Structure 1
């Protein structure tokens, strides 16, 4: 490991230290997600209103969108390990406050909204600091593996948290979930207290009081002034749009012809694909040129969507879902590595905050727009008496769910076309050229 780190020109605690911190953050994330799900179940049992869930989602998303530009500045201005400790501690205090309200019998629905806002604000503070810290801890040749491990932990959280939330509620009610959340916080914070991050060079004089807005703008300006980084951000947004469309459209498409149990099985198969892709990227570093990974996996994801749109059967949807979700960690890991290699360490907190903010905004637009587009336009067009029933209906079929199939096909075709165009043009595809020339051993895929 020392040889590889020295050869890569990076100094730091090394890959093992990163793994330890990643494990602690993963444990803490499972506890937070499980307790939040438990609170959501409590709210639904109390009110039975779907509108309340929408309000909870808004409370979870809005602080992230509003705070990320400034929390990125915090991540760049201050020690990132301390920023993560601040964020985790704030979330833990929120958990203790909720537990106190529950014990006293004063916990109300509006307290839940405040708790979600506080938790989302802590996440907005922690996320850019953790993302930017990865390049401090890991040499360049291991960045894709590191991001793959982070995605494995996130995938395991998605699998474990719902089961744990239900089990904790059954065993000890909401208080059991809150105690579990606080216990997992202790694990994550203990590892952060024991381990150290290498120092980040400070090359700007932007740390003076009152300059937070200027520092936030500095991160945006750095990205905006580099066409290749803007292109990579747009490319990532397109992949986000595709994944969010699958999330909101595939379940209704399946439920039009199958039972909820079968739909759940297909979605589980897709989840396994995402986990397999994350594991693959955590053991392999991806191709030497990371853009090959972004474009190749992105094109394969588009092909899977085309198959899902044309197919529609349970088997085809399961296979397409597995392939598409397997490709997702490959795209994110390789794009993340490029992002870290192309942006100075002292600006990475702001850059990652900007990237996540764009992703969150893309997701919101898709969630609000995909449903009406299908319900009001595409589904009527492919109804048995629809305007396209006699033409495209011969390819995609007619009836309920076929409008979703058409949209998935169009998204897949768009994704494949964009990936092919980017590969054929020298600009964005060659974003890594100077890095590869300066460090020929970059991203060789050697394990660590």
Structure 2
């Protein structure tokens, strides 16, 4: 894969470790302060609202500026915000609004960070190795998600929230260092803005964010319908699974009396499932059409969520989550590869950012709905039933969508859509 790819992956995994630590520590801190399912769920609302506001902006920046530098700036900003959180914990802040503000600021970095990272990966690996590169990203990301919650829970139990947050900040700084070591100016592969060309300067002079946003939206809405379908599918899937995820810390603490360490074990199981799913997805995408992979992954993920209704204890609950995240991991590898292969590289950041915004738009709604329903009805099992059945319905829709027309050859080897010159027209509509 090359030195640059491995530096990028190492930095991304260090950053992901920091993300997982605060995603466990912040809900636990709010639960300790309030004991409220709605209060805990609002942490996730704060974490995903920025995707609605900044998702498209992040895509434009990824297509306009050095993607490596954007990642370094994003990690540095995250480290600074987490150090502010450590100071708040040291001062014994007992109010919720500063914690929600920190969650919002940390989350505001991610929609600016992710499009640059996702768009940079195809620039660092040969086209025929892209499925394996995506699989390794997902494997590594969720191997960290397996270790991160356990480490976060152990840090909170052994040393308190302040030390956990300091470790969090250190992981972001390590990521910034790794990505800064990638050599060269990495922007658009094969496009007019690769390197410091005269054309790059001209285009930046007449830079218009509105025009760039329109260009990305035009491709998403009028280009290959398979790309738009993946965004809508992801949004629907996220709504279902986040009904459970937003309530998970409260459910495990209140219904079962789990300690932070036991909650970390449950999260570690979901990380193990995601690793297994990424391995499976990296193999399947080379031999199965992506639409079929996504359809059967949805069926398996829905069945696993239904199993949550009867699972008891950290290990059985963890095993149910293993199945769900294994299915999701398989689907994510297929989805990422479809997008990277069908979107021209000069549009990749914008279209990925917009698609991610659509996919994540449902998460704050799901978190709020879950918190309100749990506070009013105290029936987590009804939420699990709804979430599992919703994935089965989505599977039927995907089986009949434009994704069913994609073949194995569309997403492996050959000339990727991402290597097309900027003047090339979008791929034909596959309706």
Normalising by structure 1, what TM-score?
Answer: 0.73
Name the structure 2 match of 1:394.
none
Within 5 Å, which residues of 2 pair with 1:131-142?
Answer: 131-142=118-129
Structure with higher Rg: it is: 1
Partner-residue secondary structure (3-state), 1:207: helix
Helix, strand or coil at the partner of 1:417: helix
Q: What corresponds to 2:178 in structure 1?
A: 191
Please point out which of 405, 418, 430 is paired with 2:405. 430
Q: Could you give the per-residue CA deviations for residues 331-379 of structure 1, whole angstroms, max 9, x where no partner exists?
A: 11111111011111121111111111111112334444578899999x9
Residue 133 of structure 1, CA deviation:
0.7
Counterpart in 2 of 1:345? 345
Are residue 202 (structure 1) and residue 225 (structure 2) matched?
A: no
Q: CA offset at residue 295 of structure 1? A: 2.1
Q: 1-side partners of 2:394 and 2:324: how far apart?
A: 12
Which residue does 2:400 correspond to in 1? 421
CA distance in 2: counterparts of 1:344 and 1:232, whole angstroms: 16
111, 114, 117: which is aligned to 2:101?
114
Q: Give the one of 149, 165, 168 matched to 2:152.
A: 165
Give secondary structure in 2 for the equivalent of 1:196. coil
Where does the alignment leave 5 or more consecutive residues of structure 2 unmatched? 194-199, 418-431
Structure 1 residue ranges without an equivalent (≥5): 1-13, 380-399, 443-448
The residue aligned with 2:354 is: 354
In structure 1, C-alpha distance between the alignment counterparts of 2:406 and 2:416, rounded to whole Å: 17
Deviation of 1:76 after TM superposition, in Å, equals 0.7
CA distance in 2, matches of 1:269, 1:54: 21
Q: Assess if the C-alpha contact under 8 Å between 1:239 and 1:298 holds in 2.
A: no
Q: 2:130 aligns with which of 143, 146, 168?
A: 143
The answer to whether 1:233 aligns with 2:242 is no
1:286 aligns with 2:265: no
Preserved contact between residue 141 and residue 285 of structure 1 (Cα < 8 Å):
no
Output one character per residue of 1:58-78: Cα deviation in whole Å (capped at 9) or x when no partner. Answer: 322222220111111111100
The two structures have a TM-score, normalised by structure 2, of 0.75
Residue aligned with 2:204, SS: coil
For 1:266 and 1:106, locate their aligned partners in 2 and report how far apart those are by CA, in whole Å.
Answer: 29
201-210 or 361-370, which deviates more: 201-210
Deviations 1:276-332 (A, max 9, x none): 112444xx4433366x24423422431563586599654998876544432211211
Counterpart position of 1:224: 221
* Partner Cα separation in structure 2 for residue 127 and residue 40 of structure 1: 23
**Which residue pairs with 1:275 in the alignment?**
275
**Distance (whole Å) between structure 2 residues aligned to residue 96 and residue 374 of structure 1:** 33
47-56 or 364-373: bigger deviation? 364-373
Q: CA–CA distance in 1 between the matches of 2:80 and 2:374?
A: 43
Q: Shift of residue 242 of structure 1?
A: 4.3
Any residues of structure 2 matched to 1:40-439 within 5 Å, and which?
40-100=27-87, 105=91, 109=95, 110-196=97-183, 198-200=186-188, 201-202=191-192, 207-208=204-205, 211-226=208-223, 227-245=225-243, 247=245, 271-281=271-281, 284-288=282-286, 292-302=289-299, 305=302, 309=306, 313-314=310-311, 322-369=322-369, 407=386, 410-422=389-401, 427-431=402-406, 435=410, 439=414
Does the 8 A contact of 1:26 with 1:157 survive in 2? yes
Instruction: State the structure with bigger RCO (CA 8 A, min sep 6), 1 or 2.
Output: 2
Worse-matched range after superposition: 69-78 or 35-44 = 35-44
Give the deviation of 1:435 after TM superposition: 4.8
Q: Distance in 1 between matches of 2:158 and 2:381?
A: 43
- The answer to whether the aligner puts 1:23 opposite 2:10 as a matched pair is yes
| Residue 271 to residue 140, structure 1, CA distance change in 2 (3 Å) | same
Q: CA deviation at 1:223?
A: 0.9
Q: 1:208 to 1:224 in 2, by over 3 A?
A: farther
Provide the rounded CA distance (Å) in 1 between the counterparts of 2:253 and 2:77: 41
Report the CA distance between 1:81 and its aligned residue.
0.1
Tell me the distance in 1 between the aligned counterparts of 2:136 and 2:215.
30
What's the offset of the Cα at 1:202?
3.0
